[in-house]
Amino acid sequence: MSLKSKIGIILIMIFILLGSANYLIQRFIIYEKFITFERDEAKKDLERCVKALKREIFHLNVVCDDWAAWNDTYDFVVSASKDYIESNLVIETFTDNKINLIYIIDKKGKVVWGNIFDLETEETIKLADFPIDHFPNTHPLISPIYEKIQTLTTSVSGILMTKVGPMLISSLPIRTSNNEGPARGFFIMGRFSK
């Protein structure tokens, strides 16, 4: 065997050895640490997303609570006053608060007033999840409250999947401005999550 052949075989062996060592180091040391790092970063990002959604739901719940614990709303459930509608339930209420849905329901489930708006087109939307005349006691937005409506502190909030997309939602019992009852129904607000 010539010297050239021996050097060639030695170089090939060195490249194979270095390549194998490099692969083993990359696969079992660096790759594992990279996967752990990537998983930890993804977990942090997911936690940030969850916190952001919880903040949005909290703020929606605060706005909904302002409306649900208000003497005018408390009276409106019984009177269905046109003055309340004309001064409070106008398109500006939706656009200013970035709200897509407002429903006012009496404690028997009858819809006193309800509307869903697309804020970009300012057109009404119909969704099967929100009946136009009556909510059954088993509806997910009122059933947890329905049984405990007299406590006045029970609420339903979270994310509701609709055919238009996910909606942040808040549902609270309607009570007086002093947070007194008896509760007269349910106030529901929603905002499409985009």
> Do the beta carbons of residue 111 and residue 131 sit within 8 Å?
yes
pLDDT by residue (tens digit) across 95-123? Answer: 999 999 999 999 888 999 999 999 888 88
Tell me the average pLDDT of the chain.
88
Greater confidence (152 vs 139) lies with 139
Instruction: Tell me how far apart the alpha carbons of residues 2 and 172 are, in angstroms, rounded to a whole number.
Output: 90
Residues 16-66 have pLDDT tens digits of 888 888 888 888 888 888 888 899 999 999 999 999 999 999 999 999 999
What domain range includes position 153? Answer: 1-194
Torsion angle, alpha carbons of 97, 101, 105, 110, to 10: 160
- Cβ(156)–Cβ(165) below 8 Å: no
**Considering its fold, how many domains does the chain have in total?**
1
What whole-number distance in Å separates Cα of residue 77 and Cα of residue 85?
11
Cα 3 to Cα 11: distance, rounded to the nearest angstrom: 12
Which helix (H) or strand (E) segment is 63 a member of?
helix 31-68
> Using CB atoms within 10 A of its CB, is residue 88 exposed (0-12), middle (13-18) or buried (19+)?
middle
Cis peptide leading into residue 144 (ω within 30°): no
CATH of the domain at 60: 3.30.450.20
Verdict on whether the full-model pTM lies above 0.85: no
